[in-house]
Amino acid sequence: MPEQGRGDITVGQLLLAEYQTVKDEQKARIGFRDNLLYVTLAVVAAVIAAAAQAERAAMLLALPPVCVVLGWTYLVNDEKISAIGHYVRDDLGPRLARLAASGDEGPATFGWEAYHRGDTRRRARKAIQTVVDLTAFCAVPLAALIVYWASEDTGALLVTLSAAEALAVAGLGAQIIAYTRPVPAARG
């Protein structure tokens, strides 16, 4: 058995350092993800105000690409936040528990990682969040496209562009819905 205190690093210390690193990443991603909704609201308000002031419905065509980029960035960060939680619950926590119990399955580690998921209102909150995401990143730009299509400010090139934008927004909506499905308990 090696002596402690000579600069030796234990497996447990390495796992705890890894835990701290992934939790720091998760925290940073949560802040970034949550701010993307506020950025989206600000951009939407600015574009709508500019289009209304200039009385140019074609300016609304800026909303779909911006919302798709911000929505995709939001979704990717949300997925990574969830993946970190899964990793801590399903891999890192059990490895630390085994070390702490000297080979036995041992006590549960990082209990909050699983505990908060048992809230009876969690499913309803996830559904509401999906509606918010779909509204902010998909319904708003689709409404902008409808306003554009109904205006007299259309041209063949811009109508073609707006159709491509509609497809991109629909694709993002499909991805948002696909990512709301539960992830399997263990990753292979």
Q: Per-residue pLDDT averaged across 81-106, rounded?
A: 81
**Domain that residue 172 falls in:** 11-178
Q: How far apart are the first and last CA of the chain?
A: 33
pLDDT in tens, 16-63: 999 999 999 999 999 999 999 999 999 999 999 999 999 999 999 999
Residue 1 lies in a domain: no
Residue 108 lies in a domain: yes
Taking each helix axis as running N to C, give the angle between helix 93-100 and helix 11-54, from 0 to 180 degrees, rounded to the nearest 10.
Answer: 160
Residue 39 lies in a domain: yes
Residue 118 lies in a domain: yes
- Residue 137, classified by CB atoms within 10 Å of its CB into exposed (0-12), middle (13-18) or buried (19+), is buried
pLDDT in tens, 140-166: 999 999 999 999 888 899 999 999 999
Rounded-to-integer distance, Cα 75 and Cα 72, Å: 5
User: What is the count of structural domains for the chain?
Assistant: 1
pTM for this prediction: 0.83
CB of 83 within 8 A of CB of 25? no
Residue 150 lies in a domain: yes
